[in-house]
Chains A and B, each alone.
Chain A
């Protein structure tokens, strides 16, 4: 009697899981693995343009990476260092200039719809002054690179040791929309640490510990 109950329970469980796994085989990952995750962001910010074409340093915006555990998403005020003046792409401005010359009128200011979202978030009016009618709203970016809560990764140590950002984040400077390239699994971390201990980083010897308590506490 008992063994029959066990058989039924096991059989149902196997059937259930085969059914579920089968339908999802195409997107199957181990739990927690977000490799290839490439969500749409509230503002279509292009790393290809900023980091690739314009060659802005990663640490200019993600300044936390050199000082803190978190690289951080830059506050909107950092964007405004440039975008107080740059309100649209050069092409759009030129097109407006040409159009204005053709229509014999002074060119109108051009604001790209994506940057308008930034100004809206800061609650600015057309003259870049705080608009009392609008309340500032922080921008809710969708987080891509995420480690579980029991992992304490520290950007400081890696940036300080000379690890290139691309080593973990992939060729971000060529990505229009950021995608998670590495699987960010523990094995992947540990392999890199072992490798770094053997070969060093950029010709320098490093001490990349592989103790559990380096990341888990």
Chain B
């Protein structure tokens, strides 16, 4: 039987009703919304007024306003107006430390791209990394230091802080430096030096998304508190327990790239995911097992025993792991020491240490120590801390008892904006944005990545190391401090260069230096770690299990200021502008809860937030995303078009989403992201969620459906066995159109590998940044008016409990026989000689016929002049792409500005455009390498080869639109969508 795909439970239950709704042009009837007043109808008025306005406008304008052009007095030699310069740097959006190339035009960074030379990013980025550009031009950033909440100067603040510190030094009071994981060797040295001035000083590191248990477990099993460097590219068999390594866990860009490199049909890895909620990683698993979080240690113990027995005892996962000794990898995302100890034991027994887990050159991306954090919070509570420095974290918003930070005698925050913790600080010494500063990072031992400024600081901010140096009595500029530090620390660790200046220049140019790392001291994993392990306590059976997870966009909440990330649909739930309590369909039915019903979730404390029904989730699990309900999101109260019918993007509390930090637990000195015995009750209230996946259905209209019933699924799948069979020759469709438009030069096309795509949505944000795509706000998303040129359609198949998921990036297909072109009455959308379907904004009069006739639903209409009033945020606009105004249709252009740039530059240097030279923004950002752009007329190009691949198909090919986007089928290692609950 043909496999059926569905995108929401409503569609699954009532396909006929859904299909009918898809036929309708408008979600609501527009005529019903207009009140007719007086004797004038809308048309009559417009007819009369239109001519009058046009005539007076024509008469009124004859000359454009005078415009001044101010050239440089002395032009920097590398800067030519209008030409982009790229600066190699390091992403500061999370501690993963991906390498970046910051694209700077006319002095301002306008786009971030991955640095292909750097081993963590290898040219890719994640959605949050892409969006962090907006953080540079953020109006909430502080422009000067604050003393007692009032604007001050650095001299005043320094004098006051030094006076307090002097008192503390004399009295011997406790000084605590609370930071997130710092991978920068230079900053670590300065923190140490600064704290060295005091008798009782400690550097406390914590991660809002803690991996403390992994480090603690390695301390027990390997004698050193280390985080292994996970090498997914070398793993043939992967078993992941609650680790969302493709979405948010430790270093998702690196892991996604490594993982995707092993998912092609040949040499394919096998991946099992054990989890309670449906994570991004779970959607890609070959086998997904729903487990309650409390069961995880027991599951791992069981697996360890089966591995120890050496034959797997009929367990598929154990058998596969045993067959791939030294080529397998077991990871666990639970911050639970017992689970992590079992994980270590399994990996050690399988001989994976040294093969797929590197402890010699460990990762430094998570260094947090929850026990230390707990101790600090106790000290704060008891009023024993004389001075507290808060750097890069926001404990007041991230921790259940984080408000205690205000109880130290002196609180100094380095936050760039006035967040929940900085509000409680006596002094705020704002750090630069990472694009304004000199810094370094060592995400993995031996890989030192440099951060160099792409713009001068926009405000009177100061790098943290400059502040620390000033308070050590050695004031200096970050550049000098960094260079000094590299001369003494990094330069001696390499042997290639003999001159420091040459080494430094090369490192700055490349954005990184690969140096030696002394093998981290640890003892080899011994025998069985825990022979006498008491039987795990039975998981509590009362109530639900609560899972608090970082969402792909918000992570720990540090990006809550960022409108791009709020408007990015969650890759799985497809909810924007909210965090929800996800519950399984069975549980929702039992509770009588539907999407958007506000529920009360109680575990210790209680929060009220909308529910969303999530297929594939464990029936006894409630999942809530962290990082929402932040103070920074209060700015969105007036976001989006303000008109008579608009509703705000924030909730009743004035914020986006609800903070779930209060529900975090402490257990055994570790932050726990899962809780047992949670309660969920209906409140009886409802809210309308802004979900993007329930409309814009791709389907063949009835009148076009072929009589023989040949309708192909939008998402297509295959199996390794099927691929091995020789391909049947494709039937040529009868051509209705005359073939009188040959492409003699280029024919631009794209290939999208659905098997590689993880749905991480980096492409969506990259496109938003590149193409000046406006943010429309929650209410407009509810009206199906989001503006993303590329979206990722998420399809389910199989029963709601055990869904198989497919992610399908969908953008304008640049059809050969584009249905939009034939219906435009003003020729605003026409075909180019290189196969592009061009949208001419200035011709468009906004009939929206094209949008209605597009079978792929990829066209976007500007219903409003979306606000561009924030002059600072406007600096992030790409000057090479027109900002569209109201009443104009727009859609993916295949980044034609990049095509033009490459073609003209190739002409200038007198060479043909080489394959791979033009990379669209989505392709450039994709960590999985799922998107390939190129010239289909060049038989040797990557895209032309993929278009001949056995897995190739085109969406809705049967209606003969001739799309230029070729999709590669998903390869499933399992039968249909079936998964056994094993």
Q: Does A178 contact B (CB under 8 A)?
A: no
B residues 877-894 in Cβ contact with A at 8 Å: 880-883, 893
Is B73 within 8 A of A121, CB to CB? Answer: yes
A2-B39, A160-B908 known; A17-B71 Cβ under 8 A: no
Q: Does B49 contact A (CB under 8 A)?
A: yes
Q: Does B70 contact A (CB under 8 A)?
A: yes
Is B882 within 8 A of A213, CB to CB? Answer: no
A9-B52, A150-B842, A213-B896 known; A74-B908 Cβ under 8 A: no
- Report the stretch among B639-647, B659-667, B829-837 that lies at the interface: B829-837
A9-B48, A13-B52, A149-B882 known; A29-B80 Cβ under 8 A: no
Pair count A-B, CB < 8 A: 161
B residues 838-897 in Cβ contact with A at 8 Å: 838, 840-842, 880-883, 893, 896-897
Separation in Å of the B943 CB from the closest CB of chain A? 19
Separation in Å of the B215 CB from the closest CB of chain A? 49
A24-B62, A64-B80, A141-B70 known; A17-B55 Cβ under 8 A: yes
Chain B 65-90, CB-CB to A under 8 Å as 1, else 0, gives: 01111111111000011110000000
Q: Does B736 contact A (CB under 8 A)?
A: no
Q: How large is the interface on B (under 10, 10 to 19, 20 to 34, 35 or more residues)?
A: 35 or more
A212-B838, A213-B836 known; A139-B59 Cβ under 8 A: no
Q: How large is the interface on A (under 10, 10 to 19, 20 to 34, 35 or more residues)?
A: 35 or more
- Report the stretch among A31-39, A107-115, A164-172 that lies at the interface: A31-39
- Report the stretch among A48-56, A65-73, A96-104 that lies at the interface: A65-73
- CA of A27 to CA of B907, assembled, Å: 41
Separation in Å of the B483 CB from the closest CB of chain A? 28
Is B832 within 8 A of A212, CB to CB? Answer: yes
- CA of A136 to CA of B74, assembled, Å: 10
- CA of A215 to CA of B52, assembled, Å: 32
Contacts of B907 in A (CB 8 A): 156-157, 160-161
Contacts of B314 in A (CB 8 A): none
A34-B64, A142-B66, A211-B834 known; A72-B47 Cβ under 8 A: no
Is A76 within 8 A of B68, CB to CB? Answer: no
A24-B59, A217-B896 known; A70-B81 Cβ under 8 A: yes
A150-B882, A217-B900 known; A211-B71 Cβ under 8 A: no
Chain A 185-196, CB-CB to B under 8 Å as 1, else 0, gives: 000000000000
Q: Does A214 contact B (CB under 8 A)?
A: yes
Contacts of B896 in A (CB 8 A): 213, 217
- CA of A213 to CA of B843, assembled, Å: 13
Is B55 within 8 A of A154, CB to CB? Answer: no
Contacts of B904 in A (CB 8 A): 154, 156-157, 160
Separation in Å of the B233 CB from the closest CB of chain A? 37
Contacts of B55 in A (CB 8 A): 13-14, 16-17
Contacts of A141 in B (CB 8 A): 68-71
Q: Does B58 contact A (CB under 8 A)?
A: yes
- CA of A5 to CA of B49, assembled, Å: 11
Is B908 within 8 A of A211, CB to CB? Answer: no
- CA of A66 to CA of B81, assembled, Å: 12
- CA of A213 to CA of B905, assembled, Å: 16
- CA of A108 to CA of B558, assembled, Å: 67
- CA of A146 to CA of B68, assembled, Å: 11
B residues 19-63 in Cβ contact with A at 8 Å: 39-40, 44, 47-49, 51-52, 55-56, 58-63
Which A residues have a C-beta under 8 Å from some C-beta of B? 1-2, 5-6, 9-10, 12-14, 16-17, 20-21, 24, 27-29, 31-32, 34, 39, 63-64, 66-70, 72-77, 121-122, 136, 138-143, 146, 149-150, 152, 154, 156-157, 160-161, 207, 209, 211-214, 216-217
What 4 pairs across the A-B complex have the smallest Cβ distances? Answer: A13-B52, A20-B59, A17-B55, A211-B832
